[in-house]
């Protein structure tokens, strides 16, 4: 069974004032950047009057179509809590229906035999709070780091990969992400850069699993993409360290050698034996780009396997948010903004949308600066209005640490530019900005 072609609205939109909006309309474009509003993803059907009120609060006019979502285009779903499936179907929550369908249709339009993906999706429900999962996630991360460091050191010395050891590291990581993805995600954002290659392997695996969870992949596929993402750069163990860590631009010969890490990686995996073909696809295609500008084959669009597209975005995202000798670390917020610029350029737009939703623009534990100049730590997510989380204000406008921190639920604050008491997040900050370690404030 194949999925229908993704919904498009090219040349069918009209600009109307927000006062003329009605339930059932498809909002294709706003009169301002999407990330500057609570509507996190581009394109959604208006489900209720609350969404109309939200649009009125932020826009003067929007571009819409009057078509409604066909009933026969709802995907099959299964409900999973903490990794255990139940047989009872569940209607998708409003926010996922609103933003998830477009992405799922775009990704799952091929049959399982063509893309390796099924035609039904799983809705995963967290089974642990962030505070409960953080100690377990920390242990999982420590064990995974020890395994990956040992395995990669052996690969660097002998060229032989112990794939079963990596699988042993992957399984607990997937378990943790299914219980609560925010815990490992937080640890990845705060990771040190003593050995970027090894930590990048673990982080890419976590981001791929979180994205796969968002897409509703089943457990078998989650294990595959977690392992595949972990070995994306295994071939770099055969590239000289001075090239990997060079702080200046590579020469043509050095760049050619760096590009060969894909070939090196495939050779290492083939020698290890019994590797899932999807893992090989991820390694082979994680530097291909949607517009055909990637390497090694210059594939574009649907020529790139779905798991290869997933690999490309998680590899790029983790590189963006990590400090390296030759690149400045971005905040999560700025990395996602950059990915959105690259949507349907270097990365498929639907995957960018789903990845943005999976990791969150302002995840729990991240530093943010408010429009007042104050600095805060995100302490709790708002499931519906993701750009209005609960925050703990820890610095005043002069960036001096406060004696008494205050918790503010931004969802209850006004955001009208005419109101001098309005409060909202102005931008995200990279970990360590102003010398702040976010974990000191929100895990207690």
The pLDDT, as a whole number, for residue 74 is 38
C-beta separation of 240 from 204 below 8 A: no
Q: Please give the structure tokens belonging to residue 329.
A: 């670390």
One DSSP character per residue, 292-349 reads S--SSS---GGGS-HHHHHHHHHHHHHHHTS-BTTBPPPPHHHHHHHHHHTBTTTB-H
pLDDT of residue 3: 27
The single residue listed with the structure tokens 């299964």 is 78
> pLDDT of 73-97, one tens digit each?
333 444 454 444 443 333 333 333 2
Which helix H or strand E contains 54, and what residues bound it? helix 49-58
For the chain, how many residues are written?
A: 444
d(CA 10, CA 15) in angstroms, rounded, equals 13
Q: Which residues pair with 438 in a beta bridge?
A: none
**In this predicted structure, what is the pLDDT of residue 438?**
73
Q: Cβ distance 436 to 367 under 8 Å? A: yes
10-residue averages of pLDDT along the chain (444 residues): 31 81 83 66 71 87 67 41 40 32 42 41 86 94 95 94 95 97 89 76 97 92 97 96 90 96 97 93 97 96 94 96 80 89 91 90 89 91 79 95 93 68 84 80 56
> Residue 44: what pLDDT?
72
Q: What are phi and psi of 47, to 5 degrees?
A: -100, -30
Neighbours of 282 (CB within 10 A): 31
Q: Under a CB-based contact definition with an 8 Å cutoff, are residues 214 and 359 in contact?
A: no
pLDDT of residue 412: 86
pLDDT in tens, 286-318: 999 999 999 999 999 999 999 999 999 999 999
Q: Rounded distance, CA 369 to CA 93, Å?
A: 30
What pLDDT does residue 443 have?
54
Surface-to-core class of residue 10, CB atoms within 10 Å of its CB (0-12 exposed, 13-18 middle, 19+ buried): exposed
The predicted structure's pLDDT at residue 69: 43
pLDDT for position 40: 55
pTM: 0.76
Determine the pLDDT at residue 92: 33
Q: What is the pLDDT of residue 322?
A: 87
Domains present along the chain, CATH in parentheses: 14-65 (no CATH), 73-125 (no CATH), 130-359 (1.10.3210.10), 367-442 (no CATH)
Q: Report the distance separating Cα 69 and Cα 26, nearest Å.
A: 8
Predicted pLDDT at 79: 43
Tokens representing 388?
A: 């209005």
Residue 31, CA distances (Å) to 27, 42, 116, 377 in order: 11, 12, 39, 30
In whole angstroms, give the CA distance from residue 222 to residue 211: 9
**Residue 292 near residue 240, CB atoms below 8 Å:** no
CA 148 to chain centre: 22
For residues 111 and 116, give the distance between their C-alpha atoms in angstroms, rounded to a whole number: 7
Q: How far apart are alpha carbons 128 and 88 in whole angstroms?
A: 21
pLDDT in tens, 343-355: 889 999 889 988 9
């Amino acid at each position: 069974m194949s999925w229908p072609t993704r919904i498009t609205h090219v040349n069918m939109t009209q600009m109307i004032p927000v006062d003329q909006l009605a339930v059932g309309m498809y909002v294709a474009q706003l009169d301002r950047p999407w990330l500057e509003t609570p509507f996190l993803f581009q394109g959604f059907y208006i489900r209720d009057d609350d969404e109309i009120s939200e649009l009125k609060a932020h826009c003067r006019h929007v571009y819409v179509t009057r078509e409604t979502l066909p009933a026969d285009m709802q995907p099959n779903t299964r409900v999973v809590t903490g990794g255990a499936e139940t047989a009872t179907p569940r209607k998708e929550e409003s926010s996922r229906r609103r933003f998830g369908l477009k992405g799922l249709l775009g990704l799952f339009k091929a049959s399982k035999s063509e893309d390796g993906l099924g035609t039904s999706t799983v809705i995963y429900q967290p089974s642990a709070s962030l505070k409960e999962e953080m100690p377990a996630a920390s242990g999982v991360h420590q064990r995974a780091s020890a395994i990956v460091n040992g395995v990669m050191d052996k690969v660097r010395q002998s060229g032989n990969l112990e794939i079963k050891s990596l699988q042993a590291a992957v399984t607990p990581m997937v378990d943790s992400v299914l219980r609560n993805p925010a815990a490992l995600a937080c640890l990845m954002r705060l990771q040190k850069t003593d050995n970027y290659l090894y930590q990048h392997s673990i982080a890419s695996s976590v981001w791929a699993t979180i994205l796969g969870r968002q897409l509703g992949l089943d457990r078998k596929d989650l294990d595959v993409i977690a392992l595949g993402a972990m070995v994306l750069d295994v071939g770099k163990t055969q590239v000289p360290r001075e090239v990997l860590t060079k702080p200046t631009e590579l020469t043509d010969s050095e760049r050619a050698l760096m590009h060969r890490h894909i070939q090196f990686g495939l050779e290492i995996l083939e020698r290890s034996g019994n590797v899932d073909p999807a893992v090989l696809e991820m390694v082979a295609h994680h530097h291909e780009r949607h517009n055909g500008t990637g390497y090694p084959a210059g594939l574009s669009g649907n020529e790139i396997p779905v798991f290869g597209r997933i690999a490309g975005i998680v590899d790029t995202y983790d590189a963006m948010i990590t400090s390296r000798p030759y690149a400045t670390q971005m905040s999560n917020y700025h990395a996602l903004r950059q990915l959105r610029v690259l949507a349907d350029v270097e990365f498929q737009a639907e995957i960018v949308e789903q990845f943005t939703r999976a990791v969150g623009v302002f995840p729990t534990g991240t530093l943010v600066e408010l429009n007042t100049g104050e600095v805060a730590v995100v302490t709790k997510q708002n499931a519906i209005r993701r750009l209005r989380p609960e925050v703990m204000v820890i610095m005043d406008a002069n960036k001096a640490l406060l004696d008494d921190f205050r918790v503010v639920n931004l969802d209850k604050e006004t955001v009208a530019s005419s109101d001098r008491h309005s409060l909202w997040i102005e931008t995200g900050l990279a970990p360590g900005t102003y010398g702040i370690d976010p974990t000191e404030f929100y895990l207690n």
